[in-house]
Amino acid sequence: MTAVQETEDLGKPHSSIDRDMYGFPRVSRASGSRRWPRSKHSKEGRGDMNYWDICTHQDFRQFAGPDMVSDSRDEGGGAESPGEGMATITLRNWRLLEPLLYTMVEMSHAIFRGVECSSFALTPSIFRRFAFLHMLTTEEKNTYIDRCYNHFLQAIRGRRGPLSKPLDSYSRFEIWSLGRHYGVSNTMLDWSHSPYVCLFFAFADRDRDDMRSLYCLKQNVIEAAREKKPAIKPGFEGSRYGEDDDILLTDAPEYDSLRFYRPLSDDNFRMINQQGVFTVSRSPHSIEKWVSHNYPRVRDHLHRTLERETSPRGREKLLTEIKSGWILLKVNIETSEKDRAQILRTLNRMNINYASLFPDVEGASLYANMQGDIHHY
């Protein structure tokens, strides 16, 4: 089977164009460049889109074409709007992830999360516990959270290794984050500064549907819009002195009910290798609800900052940010089981696998199992 035949089922918008195994137009030996043919979607006067010149999201959309990518922000695009401050992009070929992620290369303060099922909401695991769901008052929920924390604190005594520091030398969130990396249900969600690490977690599980998702959250934009600039303690981004031990909830998804925590302990090797960072939910709601509730404040802050900005580059960046209309992006990826195996092979060549992300005996075992399950892994 030729490379062109292999991509016939990928929904390519220009079937007359000879494509390579990645679904992209073949490299011309004469010109040495990949080009996407001019269409009604091309910018006037832009000419053919060169794959290697993709820098912005608009470039990416022009390159991919409407048959390969749908966007909830498109007028009449057929995608349901996810809510204010959010956007959803659906890719019909996973190989379009590479140029899409390249358009985010300058978003150094964005964080990512991969989920194995596109229907999963960004809800901390403790909020999904049966006991928690049947509690009616915030007081009951806080009692339950405090009890879960103390259970874990007692359970890990003597189990962290002989060189670990005393437990009372850590903040509650440092211990809470350690538990989250080992499966403890709490008010945190795992994120990473690496979208590729998150892709691994989105595709690692085999028994899921054909739509996986990658989330992107603009941490720097959220932090910049806080009204009061609090004193920062190491590790806790956006915390005031004396608040970094507060793991309990409030009722409403107010702005300060979403926080970011980056652990500093050097004995959580999983967190270090995964470039981990956490969101901490201080209200019993999903991240999506927090974003829709608080995005007007972020938008107002961006407009006020634009009024004060004097440099052309600064104004351009702010206008682009305002025009994007999102601080939470969801990228849905349509894949088959064959695609999943190829994605995991590709990530393994980048040294993103169970062995590197879980540098312990459990990670080695999971890595050996995946080597047996995926041919040529």
User: How many angstroms separate the CA atoms of 219 and 278, rounded?
Assistant: 11
pLDDT score for 342: 95
pLDDT at residue number 31:
43
> What is the predicted pLDDT for the residue at 278?
94
- How many Cα neighbours within 13 Å face the side chain of 125? 15
Amino acid sitting at position 196: Y
| Spatial contact of 41 and 62, defined as CB atoms under 8 Å apart | yes
Tell me phi and psi for residue 273, to 5 degrees: -70, -25
Closest CA to 83 of 334, 304, 296, 297: 296
Q: Are 27 and 33 in contact (CB under 8 A)?
A: yes
Average pLDDT, the chain: 82
Give the residue with greater pLDDT, 258 vs 24: 258
Q: Which two tokens stand for residue 286?
A: 């999903």
Query: Residue 271: CB partners within 8 Å, gap ≥ 6?
Result: 177, 178, 181, 263
- pLDDT tens digits, one per residue of 303-358: 999 999 999 999 998 998 999 999 999 999 999 999 999 999 999 999 999 999 99
Instruction: Check pLDDT > 60 for residue 80.
Output: no
- How far from chain centre, in Å, is Cα 334? 17
Instruction: Give the residue among 257, 259, 261 at the shortest CA–CA distance from 285.
Output: 257
Interatomic CA distance for residues 206 and 126, integer angstroms: 24
Share of the chain above pLDDT 90, in %: 50
What per-residue confidence (pLDDT) applies to 244? 52
Q: Report residue 44's pLDDT band, with 50, 70 and 90 as the boundaries.
A: very low
Digit-coded pLDDT (tens) for 260-303: 999 887 778 899 999 999 999 989 989 999 999 999 999 999 99
The pLDDT value recorded for residue 96 is 93
Of 308 and 226, the one with more pLDDT: 308
pTM attached to this predicted model? 0.82
